[in-house]
Structure 1
């Protein structure tokens, strides 16, 4: 099959260049090597065929993209001898390079060619630059290999450059994260095998994906590999135990060991410990698991009883008040001077508040830094500014009067 459009004096005519490139693209799609050789040789005899060979605006990118999609290395090799050396980095409308396309096509033999070609380019310091290129989704070729679930292709690309496992895509997912997300244990093992520096892994922590997907085997493998990898934090500075407390994944807490207990004492961006998250979500069983290794207060000076009262978690409030060592939290004040009763009243949580005020240990005379007792917060719409002397008389209230005000 011949390329019928002559390139020479008319090489500046965009329509004719496009027609010739499209014609050659159609021949390549046919994947008949003899026809492709004939078409390329015919075109090469023209005065200047470079405009056609290097045309980038076909519906699927350049001729290299189309050749890569065939999955045949001999076809790609024919074109690489004719095109501009840097066309190997051309991107289609989706940001894919020919390497991306070959990877998507699971063309193992084709994948190696653009990598070698890119490394042979002169004046290029980074020999892995083509492997680092990302498409419009932020995916490198390794991301795409993971998504195709081709373990051999993943292994090949990782051997080309092990640092690729650390790069995040537009969804902030690294290839290691995606391997867990796609539930492919073979690929996960391959990507976990090289030496990994957790500080260099971009985006979301892979260990958090293991929690979200309930991949407990992967979770244990990550811990076995490197406790620092297990301890990675998300953008909210939460660790694996914060997440497990929020999503109620009790199996994760089986990994509370001497080498991981310090994570139960870490605060997230809001200043909360994992045990405070468990309290906020009403997870009594998780509180019991965390109690032996956790601190008492968050960055706001609040105990788990403060948090349970604030969010109206009645079961947690009842559990804490009945606990022989935790009940004394009832009169603890946070950095703003609020007791749990203050917070329950302020947030209008009657189910939690009633258990607090019925407890004989509750001191109704305690005022916060605004000189307000908990009872004042239950009648705030009727509240008028009072003098310090009047505020001091709050101490004369008793719990029966408090309950009367609530009702």
Structure 2
């Protein structure tokens, strides 16, 4: 801040202090009047600049208890700090911060939003920094990052809200001040990383996914899984470029990215089966299935061809892809597998309990699969 700005600011602060000194005689007013006056002042904040705000304060000085208004938190949006932060009125917010009690810095409104949440939604980086600094300067606050970690009723921190609102600079600021909330899920089981998928903001994607992240700390739904469900090939490829470790994440059933890709038959995903991540195609889910077995269950024959060269293991029950195709009655898959020079040789293979593909087709009443198996001379 240069000397001219500092002089202007000192003048504003002095006028505010003088108005408050004049207003001291108005103490003891009832809550109804405080509410009415706070609403009026909130409207002024939304539509006026800082000079008009000070003029209104001077006008109200002999009519109301200004201190009570500044510290009133029963407005629809919360306190006047909430109003100023939401309206991007940084200079007014700065004046208010000089005259509110400590408890108001992180006070929540009806939706659980603090003034920092409101600043994050509005993209007010300067307001956010003022609130963070004031909160960190409180003597009775042990956790210096507490204000950055408060969640609203949706389970969102200020970082969640900044990502949802698509404010790139705010996202950068909040990440710089405290990285931890990037891992946290909200009530919808989504971390800021997952919420970013809906923004279509490539700059926010790069900022978030280029971080040095620990995948094991990410709560809720996997962001890479989310990108795959959206079939966003460009984003999936970029995440692979920015942070390969995120591809190792699995869901609650042990499904990794290739299990999911096989399930929804998203062929483009398997075009990025690079050597660094192809090991994922050989991982089993909690049911013991590899991605290739999921592809067979769903009858996605083209994926069987793509996955077989790097994924030839049986599932957890000792079943080959032909076992699985027979069990689930995927006749076209059975036909293609039998024609394959290597996979067809599994026609008489037995699983861990001694069943061949023919046994499974019969046990699970799959006539279409039975016909193809019985017509093969190798049976």
TM bucket, shorter chain: 0.7 to 0.9
- Aligned-partner SS, 2:310: coil
Whichever structure has more helix as a proportion of its residues is: 2
* Deviation at residue 102 of structure 1 after TM alignment: 1.6
* Deviation at residue 47 of structure 1 after TM alignment: 9.5
Partner of 1:86: 103
Residue 298 (structure 1) aligned to one of 300, 315, 318: 315
Structure 1: distance between partners of 2:118 and 2:182 = 19
Structure 1 position 191 matched with structure 2 position 222: no
Specify every segment of 5 or more residues in structure 2 that has no aligned partner in the other structure, as ranges: 1-18
Structure 1: distance between partners of 2:277 and 2:48 = 56
Moved more, 69-78 or 172-181: 172-181
Moved more, 340-349 or 275-284: 340-349
Structure 1 position 22 matched with structure 2 position 43: no
Aligned residue pairs: how many?
Answer: 359
Structure 1: distance between partners of 2:223 and 2:193 = 6
Structure 1: distance between partners of 2:111 and 2:201 = 26
* Deviation at residue 203 of structure 1 after TM alignment: 1.9
Partner of 1:206: 223
Mapping 1:6-17, distance limit 5 Å: 8-10=27-29, 13-17=30-34
Mapping 1:145-164, distance limit 5 Å: 145-164=162-181
**Deviation per CA, 1:137-169, whole angstroms, max 9, x where unpaired?**
222222222222222222222222233332222
Partner of 1:225: 242
Equivalent residues of 1:8, 1:46 under 8 A apart = no
TM-score by length of 2: 0.85
Partner of 1:312: 329
Task: Give me the CA root mean square deviation.
Answer: 2.7
Equivalent residues of 1:134, 1:140 under 8 A apart = yes
Moved more, 94-103 or 166-175: 166-175
Equivalent residues of 2:296, 2:325 under 8 A apart = yes
Equivalent residues of 1:330, 1:340 under 8 A apart = yes
Moved more, 232-241 or 24-33: 24-33
Structure 2: distance between partners of 1:72 and 1:159 = 23
Taking structure 1 as reference, are residues 83 and 42 closer, same or farther at Cα in structure 2, changes over 3 Å only?
A: farther
Equivalent residues of 1:31, 1:70 under 8 A apart = no
**Deviation per CA, 1:82-124, whole angstroms, max 9, x where unpaired?**
2111212112222211111122222232222211111111132
Equivalent residues of 1:94, 1:136 under 8 A apart = yes
Equivalent residues of 2:72, 2:80 under 8 A apart = yes
Taking structure 1 as reference, are residues 34 and 239 closer, same or farther at Cα in structure 2, changes over 3 Å only?
A: same
Mapping 1:271-290, distance limit 5 Å: 271-290=288-307
Partner of 1:65: 82
Equivalent residues of 1:333, 1:339 under 8 A apart = yes
- Aligned-partner SS, 2:315: coil
Taking structure 1 as reference, are residues 181 and 26 closer, same or farther at Cα in structure 2, changes over 3 Å only?
A: closer
Structure 1 or 2, whichever has the larger Rg, is 1
* Deviation at residue 19 of structure 1 after TM alignment: 2.6
Partner of 1:140: 157
Mapping 1:30-49, distance limit 5 Å: 30-40=47-57
Partner of 2:278: 261
Specify every segment of 5 or more residues in structure 1 that has no aligned partner in the other structure, as ranges: 363-407
Taking structure 1 as reference, are residues 347 and 62 closer, same or farther at Cα in structure 2, changes over 3 Å only?
A: farther
Structure 1: distance between partners of 2:365 and 2:375 = 17
Partner of 2:122: 105
* Deviation at residue 356 of structure 1 after TM alignment: 1.8
Equivalent residues of 2:117, 2:157 under 8 A apart = yes
Taking structure 1 as reference, are residues 45 and 112 closer, same or farther at Cα in structure 2, changes over 3 Å only?
A: farther
Structure 1: distance between partners of 2:189 and 2:108 = 21
Taking structure 1 as reference, are residues 337 and 43 closer, same or farther at Cα in structure 2, changes over 3 Å only?
A: farther
* Deviation at residue 39 of structure 1 after TM alignment: 4.4
Equivalent residues of 1:181, 1:213 under 8 A apart = no
